[in-house]
Amino acid sequence: EPSAAPDASPAASSSSAAAAGAEDLAGGVASLSLDERFDLLMSIGEECIQPDELKRLLQNKPVPICYDGFEPSGRMHIAQGVVKAINVNKMIRAGCKVKIWIADWFAQLNNKMGGDLKKIQTVGRYMIEIWKAAGMNLDGVEFLWSSEEINRRANEYWPLVMDIGRKNNIKRITRCCTIMGRSDNEELTAAQIFYPCMQCADIFFLKADICQLGMDQRKVNMLAREYCDDIKRKNKPIILSHHMLPGFKEGQEKMSKSDPTSAIFMEDDEAQVNLKIKQAFCPPKIVDKNPCLEYIQYIVFPWFDKFEVVRKENNGGNKTFLTMDELVADYEAGDLHPADVKPALAKAINEILKPLLYFS
């Protein structure tokens, strides 16, 4: 079971089976043309470093390895739950093998769940169950627990971490500490200084061709590319950074687990979803930094391929938008009002979260 506890005895054999299954699936679904696979992967990223390297990778390697990861640290918001499921499924459709790194040791280093590893691992198993219910194609995914894999291959991992540490100064490493949700001028523990060196090492340890993480992880991914220059490695990991959904409040650039009103969480019930969206910042005619429109762009359209608005005839009547450009044009013109958007968005999100009512 990919969701088995890290100390479960059959973990190594089940991991091998999952890896073999992922390769078979990835090989089978890679029936798209090169350009189609490229476009599908590019649709994931707000930024790709570098597109020409990505196309060359797809040309030369039938089953590229994509690395994603997460720190089990509490409740799962919709970006981590639904957006990750959407992106992972795109990677699999593009013919990739996806390794998801369950960073339990990293959560302990970052003092999540009070540094209690057993609690952290329980959260990790919970998150995997959420992704199952959300429709992530787990046949193409291999879940790997960092504590288990690092212990199993310690002779490979720690020399790599040490070499990355030797080749970088403290200032360069602390610049990466924003990956942990910490500011670069915050007082850090020695354990947290370790964290960026380890996350950089993960990329090479997992033999990743593509790093598919959020824009907030960009600094450590760039550190990995710089390390390739240091060791004269030609093939650098490609960085495919997805967009970070904002919080619901004005000026809130990122969702926050510490502020439950800033985001939809995967176990929110219908009433909670309706209330949060009703109270969300959604200025008329303004598209930029409008969280409701971002939810539509990055969640609703990828999920349903449309956005349906139900309204009275004297308010313009019902309308189905098939592209985000069409919706933006109406919204900027004032033909689509926040009072039209919010109920339609709430209905769509509740439909997506229906399979997760069990977790409420």
* 250: in domain: no
Q: Which residue has the tokens 């990122």?
A: 254
Residues 231, 291, single domain; the answer is: no
- Residue 271 CA to chain centroid, in angstroms? 26
Same domain, 131 and 232: yes
3-state DSSP assignment of residue 25 = helix
Domain check: are 127 and 172 in the same one?
yes
Whether 300 and 222 map to the same domain: the answer is: no
pLDDT interval class at 253 (50, 70, 90): confident
Q: Is the pLDDT of residue 21 over 90?
A: no
**Domain C-terminal end among 204, 225, 242:** 242
For the record, the structure tokens of 36 come out as 């189609």
pLDDT digits (tens, 9 = 90+) for 201-227: 999 999 999 999 988 899 999 999 999
Q: What is the pLDDT of residue 313?
A: 87
Each residue's pLDDT tens digit, 110-120: 888 999 999 99
Q: Could you tell me if 41 and 91 are in contact, meaning their C-beta atoms sit under 8 angstroms apart? A: yes
Using pLDDT thresholds of 50, 70 and 90, give the confidence band for residue 355.
confident
Residue 10 lies in a domain: no
Domain co-membership, 170 together with 212: yes
Q: What is the pTM of this model?
A: 0.86
CATH number at residue 284: 1.10.240.10
Total structural domains within the chain: 2
Residues 68 and 159 in one domain: yes
* 309 and 175 in a common domain: no
CA–CA separation, 284 vs 292, rounded Å? 11
- Top pLDDT among 196 and 331 is at 331
How many angstroms separate the CA atoms of 139 and 144, rounded? 14
DSSP conformation class of 237: P
Per-residue pLDDT averaged across 334-356, rounded? 95
Choose one of 204, 227, 242: the last residue of a domain: 242
With b for 16 or more beta-carbon neighbours within 10 A and e for fewer, the 41-72 pattern comes to beebbeebbeeebbbebbeeeebbbbbbbbbb
In degrees and rounded to multiples of 5, residue 241 shows phi and psi of -95, 120
Q: Regarding predicted confidence, which is higher, 315 or 287?
A: 287
Q: Domain range holding 223? A: 31-242
